[in-house]
Structure 1
Amino acid sequence: MFNSVICSLKAQCNEKDTNTLLHFKQGVTDPSGLLSSCFPELDCCHWTGVKCDNITGRVTQLNLPCHINHPKVVDYGEKDDKSNCLTGEFSLNLLELEFLSYLSRGNPPHLCGNSTNLHYLDLSYNYNRLVDNLHWLSLTMLPSLLELHLESCQLENIYPFLQYANFTSLQVLNLADNDFASDWLFNLSCDISYIDLSQNEIHSQLPKTLPNLRSVKSLILSHNYLKGSIPNWLGQLEQLQELVLSDNFFSGPIPASLGNLSSLIELILDLNELNGNLPDTLGQLFNSETLRVGGNSLTGIVSERNLLSFPKLQRLYIGSPDLIFNFDPGWVPSFQLLRIGLGYVRDQLPAWLFTQTSLKYLSILHSTASFEPLDKFWNFATQLEYIDLTNNTIHGDMSNVLLSSKFVWLASNNLSGGMPGISPQVTVLNLGNNSLFGSISPLLCDNMTDKSNLVHLSLGHNHLSGEITSCWNNWKSLVLIGLQSNNLTGKIPHSMGSLSNLRFLYLGSNKFFGEVPFSLKNCKNLRILDLGHNNLSGVIPSWLGQSVKGLLLRSNQFSGNIPTELCQINSIMVMDFASNRLSGSIPNCLQNITAMISSYASTRRVVFTVNLTGIPVHIYCNIWMLIKGNELAYVDLMNVIDLSSNNLSGSVPLEMYMLTGLQSLNLSHNQLMGTILEEIDNLKQLEAIDLSRNNLSGEIPESMSALHYLAVLNLSFNNFVGKIPTGTQLGSTNLSYIGNPDLCGAPLTKICPQDDESHDTKPREEEDDDEKSEVYSWFYMGLGIGFAVGFWGVLGTT
């Protein structure tokens, strides 16, 4: 790529090319002044992004770079800031530049022309330009095209074009991160060397016979839905240097034929369903720098014998539940790794690990190995930039440990003692689900003289106690704070309002009391606020920002009305106010919450990405829901309203029935009156509804039978009358209807008079006694928060 041009003074820009570029400039909007150098009185060969032939003066290369702002922290679904990029209609045919061989980031969806010299075309990352077909690309250009880059364009309808395209000279094809679903590439008839179809929707199997790919050097098919066995013909691709099949559904053994690929540099097969032993033939891959086979179901023994022939190895990922590590304690490898990922290690860590003085990334997962002596291990860890130890059995006191890596993920181990120390370069810190105890003040308040870069702080599910500390002014870079499920007490400090970057605040399941501090109004970027299961009081905050997706206030002492200001936050998807002291009526403005109207929202996933040096780290925040005694974790937010166990009165407002994307509704244990409206059939996404223990009356509307996703229904202990509507989802159990003396029909034993007036039934008094004896404890919905991490450094190819 180039940013400027140096042209020979002997050749001026061709007049026809100059006019073509000037007309192009007139048809676009240029907010960053990218084309500001394009003035008629200047030679176009001196314009930024233009390169000319030194002899003829004809334009041969045109680079229209988009200077994208990549923020340090990005929410899931949030696109890069492209406000500085060219926009508008391209009114002139750039491809009238008949000697143009290189066009990058132009993204001209309406271009057409007759140039046969175009060799390089890059339209990647133009998801906001609707590049959904290539009809503008003349078939006469294809024979000369060497590189075609269409990564992250949200392509949907280009398969017919690609299927019949005559790419006789194509060498590089990049269709990564689209909606491509075809295995068309195996029919290519050109000597292609680079193919990237990763992160698409390909569900097929790889062909069993060798396609025309003998010239391919890079074959990247990761993050698809490919299945079946890995074919042996891959071992015949003698020029192959990079094979990436990770994160698919491949099964069967790793083909021994892959050992024939003497030129192979990267072999990435992790996160599949592969089984069997690690083939001995892989020891023939002398040039390999990356070997990744973790996250499969491999068996057998791995020892130094498997790794003796890898002098250039830099990245190693290996580990399966039934794979046994058996290394000689005295073995010293000939390689020096940059990254290593081990899984299911028993007994002791491999001794050779501590000889890796160049190591920057270490991941050890699901292991029962002893990390002792711990002093040796933590001293070794000081050289690391990224350390991920999850679900291991590490014992020991952390209070004397200084953590200095940028990324520290030590969740779900047996770590104990007080808070460790952290250095200013720590950006992500997760010590959740351990046995740490004591105050968090030593971590947050002691010896912080340098500016902190901490973005993620997770200490949830430990035994921490005391007050939450007021030292938050030193931590203004924080985006996520997770302190849930501890024994913390006191009031939420006002200093938390200084965290202007805060998006996720989890303080649930502690012993906090008092009101929610008004200073949190300054946290305008809050996405999730979890204060449930505390002793907080006062009124529900009405000053929340417009970005809130989840508001969890369950099991506190909040009182007063539900503020109507919440209806102005159209992003809310989870509204959980259960088990408080709320009174008054349900607001009649809920239809303004547009997130609960959509049946699917692209922003459901509670994920944010931290852009560390060279490696984006994706951090997932799970929503835990308890339904019918089954606790399930949801990575994607559901549309949930839970106002149960309060003192709400009045009727269920008509506007509630306008929330067509609502998936779970719990209004039980209140004092609601009125009827269920026929409009309830608008809530076609409903999976659970609980209206029990109220004063609702009237007939159950027939329209409820249209709720085909409904799996949980509870209308018990109200004043409903008449016949229960037919429908399998409404008739699964009589527990849904008990406590309504005037209801009849299946699944109740009481037969409706219109069905059988002569049928002998129990006396009313006996039936009432039977209903009251039923145990009503089956329906309870709760929300909690947990964390998981998706680390691109483990799943990626670099």
Structure 2
Amino acid sequence: MGSQVWCFIAIFILITTGESRKTTDKTCHPNDLKGLISFKAAIRSDDSGRLEKWIGYGCCKWEGISCNNTTGRVTQINLPGFFTSSDDSPVQTSMNGHLSPSITLLSSLEVIDLSGLTGLTGNIPPSIGFRLPKLRKLSLFGNKLEGRLPESIGKLFNLEVMYLHENSFSSTLPESLGNLKSLRFLDLHSNGYTGVVPDCIANLTNLETLNLQNNFLSHIPANIGDLQALKELDLSNNSLRGRIPSSITKLKSISVIYLNNNQLEGEIPQPFSSDQMPALRFLRLHDNLLVGRIPDSLGYLTSLERVSLANNKLEGSIPTSLGNLRSLTELYINGNQLSGQIPSSLGQLSRLLILNISNNMIREPLPQEMASLINLQTLDLSFNRLNLFSIPYWLLKLPSLSQIHLASCRIQGELTEFLQSTPSSLQVIDFSDNNLTGNIPALIGSLTELYLLNLAGNSLIGQIPSTITNLVNLGVLDLRSNKLEGSLHRVFEIQTRFGGGSLTYIDFSDNRFSTGIEQIGTGMQQGIQYLNLSHNFLKGRIHTAIGTLGSMQSLDLSYNNIESELPPSLGNATSLERLKLQKNNFTGKIPNEFLKLKELEELDLSNNMLIGEIPFGKPLIDFPKSSYLQNRGLCGKPLGPCPL
């Protein structure tokens, strides 16, 4: 008898599972099939080739489609633009077309992932909340969708993930968002939302991530502290006004707070004990209108790793309590009105990598304890009220230092002693606007890792040393406003020696250079973008090779003694946005080839000896008369008509 029962059960299982498989394999539910076919029909092109495989009626076998094994209903549409192919290699594809509202016919959908298709347009269907009650994940980021977030979105009571960032959605956020009690991740950044962050957002008690950056929102809810599960809050790059709500300190799970690049006012809310925000690691409040002092109680937040309070209106001294932040790796308090001295307690921050206190009112001396910052890579003390006179010896011995910014610190003397103590691994040196004298020493060539050298605004004399050609990694060279003289040719050699060519920015303006103008473009790499040689004593002719500098965006040769015709080849530098050649001795006509400079936004050819008709056409006719005045015989628009 027992064997007969087990035989019956086995036959029943075979029959029922066979029927289920038959139902799933044979055809879609009519509504699912209609919705998917309509979706496919609205897509004009799919370079992944996935949709062209949607053939027949067995949609559960179609690529990107998943179904419930029992009901046969479609539960997932997974067609992201970025995915992993069958051989585990990453693939980036796109779809061009319209998001069909018929997608809401698939009433059992739990997951919609159409992210990163880049060419998908249209709106979120207004009926989405009524038609798709089982939806758990809605991922449509990285497309070209627009319109408003429909009010019915609040009916998606099972929704856990909503990624709609990097689209063109607009209007206000619906109050119904507060109904999404299951929501854990909400990302709407980089859209065009306006108005306020609705107070109802505080109802989302399971929310872990809230990202609304890069919109036009104007208000932080006062009850933001009710989001006790929140780990990441990003409201940066909006139009937020008013004060930062004090309730923000009640976020016990918070790890990330980004409120930077807004118009927030008032003081920074103070945590009143170490129990508040105990997990906070990243705090960005820079580029606001915050006032008052940096709270002493910031020292309670011992989990902090990165803090940026830069570019506000903070005042008072730097609190000694910051020395308690032993996990801190980056501290940006530049661009405020801080005064007093740097506290010696900062020397306790042994993990610190970046310290920026520039553009304040800090006074000397620098604390000797800073010599303990053995991991410090970047130090910026520029534009304070420091009278350093000389660079502290211990500073140059920091073993990890790669960037040193000491602009306008009243450093005196010659560079030779400094360079003798400087580690060759330095990548950035900014000693601009100091009182340095003497020559640029040949030792400069030993800093072979150097990317940026800024010695502008000093009293350096003599010629550029030949060893500068050793700096094959140099990208930015600023020597403006000194008393340097001689030829420019050694600088241009940096572009070619040892296969270099990283140099993109050169500013030698306001010096006494006299030769080398003819080498512009000859042998130089294409990467040069900014070249300013104005206010020198340069003579000679411009070589036709200047037209090979296809990446050049700004060229300023004004206030020199250049005697040359304007080379027609300059019209090939089609990336030019700024061209200043005034106060020279240029002769001849303006070449017709200049009409190819379509990106040109600023032009000055005044005070030369140019003649003839200005070539008619954009962009030349759009510049004001002042761009052409004080020449020998220029005529034509925008000047007066040429004589018959």
- Normalised-by-shorter TM-score class: 0.7 to 0.9
Counterpart residue number, 1:283: 299
Asked if 2 retains the 8 angstrom alpha-carbon contact of 1:547 and 1:569, the reply is no
The alpha-carbon deviation at position 283 of structure 1 amounts to 0.9
Q: Which letter maps to 1:401?
A: I
User: How far apart are residue 21 of structure 1 and its match?
Assistant: 4.8
Which residue number corresponds to residue 414 of structure 1? Answer: 458
- Counterpart Cα distance in 2 of 1:476 and 1:531: 21
In 2: Cα distance, 1:288 partner to 1:211 partner? 19
What CA distance in whole angstroms lies between the structure 2 residues aligned with 1:386 and 1:102? 47
Mapping 1:54-73, distance limit 5 Å: 58=74, 60-65=76-81
Specify the alignment match of 2:170 in structure 1: 156
2:532 maps to 1:518: no
Is the aligned partner of 1:551 residue 2:568? Answer: no
Scaled by the length of structure 1, the TM-score of the pair is: 0.61
- Equivalent residue for 1:310? 325
**TM-superposed deviation, 1:146:** 2.4
CA distance in 1 between counterparts of 2:458 and 2:26 reads 72
Q: Secondary structure at the match of 1:367?
A: coil
Q: Is the 8 A contact 1:504 1:526 kept in 2?
A: yes
SS of structure 1 residue aligned to 2:609: coil
In the TM superposition, residue 28 of structure 1 has moved relative to its aligned partner by 1.8
Q: Which has the higher contact order (CA 8 A, sep 6+)?
A: 1
Q: Shift of residue 474 of structure 1? A: 3.5
Question: Residues 199 and 222 of structure 2 are in contact (CA less than 8 Å); yes or no, is this contact kept in structure 1?
Answer: no
- CA distance in structure 2 between the aligned counterparts of 1:340 and 1:574, rounded to whole angstroms: 48
User: SS in structure 1 opposite 2:324?
Assistant: coil
| Whole-angstrom CA distance in 2 between matches of 1:47 and 1:454 | 52
1:578 is aligned, of 629, 636, 644, to: 629
Distance in 2 (CA, whole Å) between partners of 1:84 and 1:580 is 55
SS in 2 for 1:560: strand
Report the AA paired with residue 186 of structure 1: D
Contact 1:361/1:386 (<8 A) preserved: no
CA contact (8 A) 2:226 2:251 kept: no
* Residue of structure 2 in register with 1:169 after alignment: 182
- 8 Å CA contact 1:267–1:291 kept in 2: the answer is yes
Question: Partner letter of residue 200 of structure 2?
Answer: N
In the alignment, which residue of structure 2 is the partner of 1:383?
402
1:501 maps to what in 2? 551
In the alignment, which residue of structure 2 is the partner of 1:186? 199
Q: Alignment length, in residue pairs?
A: 559
Within the candidate set 560, 565, 578, 1:528 is matched to 578
Quick one: which amino acid aligns to residue 521 of structure 1?
A: G
Whether the aligned pair in 2 keeps the contact of 1:559 and 1:582 (CA below 8 Å) is: yes
1:301–1:324 Cα contact (<8 Å) kept: yes
Match of 1:93 among 102, 106, 131: 102
Residue number in structure 2 paired with 1:449: 498
Output the CA distance in 2 between the equivalents of 1:478 and 1:210: 49
Q: How do 1:62-141 residues align onto structure 2 when only pairs under 5 Å count?
A: 62-65=78-81, 85-91=94-100, 93-97=102-106, 98-103=108-113, 104-105=115-116, 107=120, 109-110=122-123, 112=125, 114-126=131-143, 129=144, 131-135=146-150, 138-139=152-153
Give the AA of the match of 1:450. G
Q: Is the 8 A contact 1:392 1:413 kept in 2?
A: yes
Per-residue CA deviation, residues 357-380 of structure 1 (Å, 9 max, x unaligned), is 544554443235438448986786
Question: Hey, what does 2:419 align to over in structure 1?
Answer: none
Deviation at 1:349, TM superposition (A): 5.0
Against the structure 1 CA distance between its residues 195 and 61, is the aligned structure 2 distance closer, same or farther, given a 3 Å change threshold? same
Per-residue CA deviations over 1:746-785 (Å, capped at 9, x if unaligned) read xxxxxxxxxxxxxxxxxxxxxxxxxxxxxxxxxxxxxxxx
Cα deviation code 1:79-104 (max 9, x no counterpart): xxxx9732223447344443341412
TM-score, L = length of structure 2? 0.74
1:217·1:242 contact (CA, 8 Å) conserved in 2? yes
1:147 aligns with 2:199: no
* Bigger shift: residues 369-378 or 467-476: 369-378
Contact 1:272–1:296 (CA under 8 A) maintained in structure 2: yes
Distance 1:273 1:66 in 2: 40
Distance 1:455 1:37, change over 3 A: farther
Do the aligned partners of residues 176 and 376 (structure 1) sit closer, same or farther apart at CA in structure 2, a change above 3 Å counting? same
CA 1:516 to 1:326, structure 2 compared with 1: closer, same or farther past 3 Å?
same
Deviation for aligned residue 1:238: 1.7
Question: Within the alignment, does 1:326 sit opposite 2:342 as a pair?
Answer: yes
In the TM superposition, 1:160-559 aligns within 5 A as 161=174, 166-188=179-201, 189-191=203-205, 192-204=207-219, 206=220, 212-257=226-271, 260-302=276-318, 305-319=320-334, 320-328=336-344, 332-343=347-358, 344=360, 345-348=362-365, 351=368, 355-356=372-373, 358-369=375-386, 370=388, 372-373=390-391, 383-384=402-403, 387=428, 389=430, 393=434, 395=436, 398-399=440-441, 400-402=443-445, 408=452, 410=454, 413-414=457-458, 416-417=460-461, 419=464, 420=468, 423-427=471-475, 429=476, 431=478, 433-435=480-482, 437-438=484-485, 439-446=487-494, 448-468=497-517, 469-470=519-520, 472-544=522-594, 545=596, 546-559=598-611
Paired amino acid for 2:563: F
Deviation by residue 1:445-495 (Cα, 9 ceiling, x = unmatched): 157212423334444444444223346534212233333334433222222
Match for residue 70 of structure 1? none
- For 1:179, the aligned partner's letter is G
Give, in angstroms, the shift of residue 568 of structure 1: 7.0
| Unpaired segments ≥5 residues, structure 1 | 1-9, 68-82, 587-640, 651-670, 673-798
Give ranges in structure 2 of 5+ residues lacking alignment: 1-20, 84-91, 404-425
Question: What RMSD over aligned residues (CA atoms) do the two structures have, in Å?
Answer: 4.1
> Is the 1:363–1:388 Cα contact (8 Å) retained in structure 2?
no
Q: 1:584 to 1:508 in 2, by over 3 A?
A: closer
Deviation at 1:130, TM superposition (A): 5.3
Task: Between 285-294 and 33-42, report the one with greater CA deviation.
Answer: 33-42
Quick check: 1:218–1:241 contact (8 Å CA) kept in 2?
yes
Instruction: Report how far residue 407 of structure 1 moved.
Output: 6.0
CA distance in 2, matches of 1:31, 1:582: 59
Q: Does 1:30 align with 2:45?
A: yes
Partner Cα distance (2:395, 2:60) in 1: 59
Q: Percent identity?
A: 21
